Amino acid sequence: MDASTTEKTQRYFSPRRLGHANLWVSDYERAYDYYRNVIGFEHAYIQPDNQASFVSNGNTYHDYGLIDIHGRYAKPGQNPGLNHFAFELRNELELAEGYRRAKAAGVQFSSLQDHDVAHAAYQLDPDGNQVEVYADVVADWRAARSGVIIKEKPAYVPGESSVPVKEELYPKNPEIHVVKEALFHPRKVAHVSLVTKDFGAMLDFYIDVIGLVPFAGDRNSDFIILRGSASNGDLVLHQSVPGDETGLHHVGIEVLDEAGLASAKKVLPGKGIKLDSEIDHPARVALTIIGMDGVRTQFFVNRDWRPASLRSLDRRTALALL
């Protein structure tokens, strides 16, 4: 199932990769420790006024944002789950130019944000998931984002609030910090896997608006893997079938090696962590757990990761592997 979706030359944005995944959590302080001690990302910073905490291993200014369902940004009755996921652009100039073209074409944005270390624009995809495109605007995010952060966010409009930064300030060859005592040892948050209600509309949105390109699968497949310019898979869309629960299936984390993955598996029962699926495939070895608040997290190591290696996957295998 090689990618056969036609690649268009006019896109509003051109992401490099998935930058982070933010989750609604039942307790942002407990989640801060869970995503360090189990998932393996260091404490980065915390926002007590927003009831939110953020973790990173140095790969970016946060790999996970953990927003409390009892905080001021939560709607009444908010449940734990996906808050949003974000795609990294090369620089702020790309953000501003893409925003201008998209607005001129009638694309709607749900929010524009100045995060001090990054500037961002948010949209809702056809399934209602919130999606961010952002650009780093400082070289040393730790100098601005560490410890306790309490500050008001100024109003921001790409290309209008200030002269867009042309310099490419995304992390280049970052030092990856390992939490040795953690159960897992991640390289990065690598992909988000969604079961979608409207496969065609979602595919069009992520190609035409967000600017991802196909890696494997196509419009007629059970799934498609989409990627940015600096990755080999950032978003997986799975066609839903009757009876499916749509939305986030899992967040995928690439880990350091297979030996560490095998060691982590051995201690899951003693930690009270439920194993959702395990798959040993020529393309990838993957282990998925049911984590805090019932959110699935997949940990994987790629092997022969090529479109040809992913041909003829049945639907159940694809959900566990991709």
Task: Give the model confidence (pLDDT) of 192-206 as tens digits.
Answer: 999 999 999 999 999
Cβ-count burial 22-59 (b if 16+ within 10 Å, e if not): bbbbebbeebbebbbebbbbebbbbbeebbbbbbbbbb
211 lies in some domain: yes
Q: Are residues 118 and 206 in the same domain?
A: no
194 and 143 within one domain:
no
Contact 219, 200 (CB under 8 A): yes
pLDDT by residue (tens digit) across 39-58? Answer: 999 999 999 999 999 999 99
| Domain extent at residue 71 | 17-148
Residue 170 belongs to a domain: no
Q: End of a domain among 148, 170, 205?
A: 148
pLDDT on residue 10: 61
Where among 129, 148, 167 does a domain terminate?
Answer: 148
Which of 148, 174, 194 corresponds to the end of one domain? 148
Query: Residue 314 contacts by C-beta under 8 Å, 6 or more apart in sequence?
Result: none
Residues 203 and 302 in one domain: yes
- For 214, phi and psi rounded to 5 degrees? -70, 140
Structural domain includes residue 289: yes
Phi and psi for 88 in degrees, rounded to 5?
A: -85, 130
Cα(136)–Cα(117) distance, rounded to whole angstroms? 6
What size, in residues, is the chain?
A: 322
- pTM higher than 0.75, yes or no? yes
> Is there a single domain that holds both residue 208 and residue 309?
yes
Are residues 141 and 29 part of one domain?
yes
Distance of CA 164 to the CA centre of its chain: 24
Residue 6 inside a domain? The answer is no
Together in a domain, 190 and 254:
yes
Tell whether 158 is covered by a domain: no
26 lies in the same domain as 114:
yes
273 conformational bin, left if phi > 0, alpha if psi -120 to 50, beta if neither: beta
User: Do 195 and 131 have their domain in common?
Assistant: no
User: Do residue 137 and residue 204 come from a single domain?
Assistant: no
Q: Please give the tally of structural domains in the chain.
A: 2
Are residues 192 and 144 part of one domain? no
Predicted local distance difference test score (pLDDT) of residue 271: 93
Q: Do 205 and 105 share a structural domain?
A: no
Where the chain has pLDDT below 50, the residues are 1-9
DSSP-derived pairing of the beta strands 247-255 and 296-302: parallel
Q: Is residue 161 part of a domain?
A: no
Residue 178 counted as domain residue? no
Is 204 part of any domain?
yes
Q: Where are the beta strands (DSSP E) in the chain?
A: 17-25, 42-47, 52-56, 64-68, 81-88, 111-114, 118-124, 130-136, 147-148, 186-196, 213-217, 223-227, 235-239, 247-255, 274-280, 284-290, 296-302
For residue 184, what pLDDT is reported? 98
Provide CB contacts within 8 A for 59, sequence distance 6+.
Answer: 171, 174, 176, 187, 188, 189
Q: Any idea what the CATH number is for the domain that residue 132 is in?
A: 3.10.180.10
Do 311 and 252 fall into the same domain? yes
